[in-house]
Amino acid sequence: MESQHHLPTRAPSTPASRVAGVGPTVFATITAEAVRTGAANLGQGFPDEDGPAGMLRRAAAEITGGNNQYGPGRGLPSLRRAVAEDRARRLGHVVDPEDVLVTVGATEGIAAAVLGLVDRGREVVVLEPTYDAYSAAIGLAEAVARPVRLLLDDGRWHLDREQFAAAVADGPAAMILNSPHNPTGTVLGREDLEFIADTVRDTGVVVISDEVYERLAFDRPHVAFATLPGMQSRTVTLSSAAKSFNVTGWKTGWAIAPPALLDAVTAAKQFLSYVGVTPLQPAVAWALDNADDWSDRWGRTLRARRDRLAGVLHATGQDVLHSDGTYFLVSDIAPLRLGISAEEFCRALPEAVGVAAIPVSSFVEEVDEQVATLVRWTFCKADGTLDLAEERLLAADWTRLHKTSN
């Protein structure tokens, strides 16, 4: 018998093709650079202020009270009931609590919806710029993303109806709809949403509607897509506590759909995480039942911070695009005449200026003139962070940034 030291060697296995070449997300990369340089992080969209105090106390009480084991597969009844009642009260979206599935954040819900409802090789229509988790989920399902670029006119984004209709005519399995929209901050108007509904109504297309910013629509009302005529039977609605109640680290979300769709989502979800985080679910239910006043105040605070950041960016010489909601607004650095792309700008920004942001080119399949110089900034940060960012941006030596990028 050969000794262990003389056994034939084998090359280490390589990553599966579905993840080959996939590195850290742009958000992780920019945040790491912000930490390294001490930059004010206006890149990754997480607040640095906690949510409602009553919700936090409830979570602590659940943990110390022993509610720390597996909960029901579809989530605790108290949270599923609270989600259904909240949607009906605020948005007129009437659902049965049995049609609610608790997920580990909306991101898991997106992945489970795509894995459960889209076969290999089928197309999924996405609105572009596209949040990167959508493309990742589609790739894991070995499906194909079909981007429909939002049109940009006079500083405002809207649906390209002709391109969207053509994409649906080609017979996709699903579309992922995101309004309020990350990264642009756009809240699609009822007319665009009705056009989407009219286009998919007589098709087999399932609509996966990501509505995580549903409470953060400032200038246009948010319309729950499933409330449009004929859409409830073909829509999977996704949302979460993360953006609604400032608990991005809790990863507690939900999917809402009729049984035929929700069963498929559940079949995929149960082998991703099995169940949600048990002690946090009663706390989120408490917030849905009791924190509307807190949510309204937070929305007003964010609106003011959006306007403040827009003024700062405008004062630096950038063009600022309109943001209807979310955590984000987009600027165009072209007027600064730096001769660099938004990607180069954002790569150099933390070191050269002490602020971090995200290039919009990270959210598109093909970079063109429309997005090459667009930068996404978040305004969900505390006043101290915004104070620091404002001081540094207004004092920035842009020629130094140009040199740094090269």
Q: Is the dihedral of CA 243, 246, 249, 250 positive or negative?
A: negative
Q: Is the dihedral of CA 110, 111, 117, 122 positive or negative?
A: positive
Pairing, β 206-210 against β 174-178: parallel
pLDDT at 1: 47
Q: DSSP letters along 228-290, please?
A: STT-GGGEEEEEEHHHHTT-GGG--EEEE--HHHHHHHHHHHTTTTSS--TTHHHHHHHHHHH
Three-state DSSP at 126 gives strand
d(C-alpha 331, C-alpha 346), whole Å: 12
> Do residues 298 and 94 make contact, with C-beta atoms less than 8 angstroms apart?
no
Beta-strand runs (E) in 109-150: 123-128, 144-149
Q: Output the pTM of the full model.
A: 0.93
Q: Which residues contact residue 398 at a Cβ distance below 8 angstroms, ignoring those fewer than 6 apart?
A: 316, 336, 338
Q: How far apart are the first and last CA of the chain?
A: 59
In the chain the domains, ranked by start, together with CATH numbers, are 15-44+293-405 (3.90.1150.10), 69-290 (3.40.640.10)
DSSP label at residue 16: P
Residue recorded with tokens 């995200």 = 358
Question: What does pLDDT average to in each consecutive run of 10 residues of the chain (406 residues)?
Answer: 54 72 75 88 92 98 97 97 98 98 98 98 98 94 97 94 98 98 96 98 97 97 97 98 96 98 97 95 98 97 98 98 97 96 94 95 93 97 96 91 61
pLDDT at 59: 98
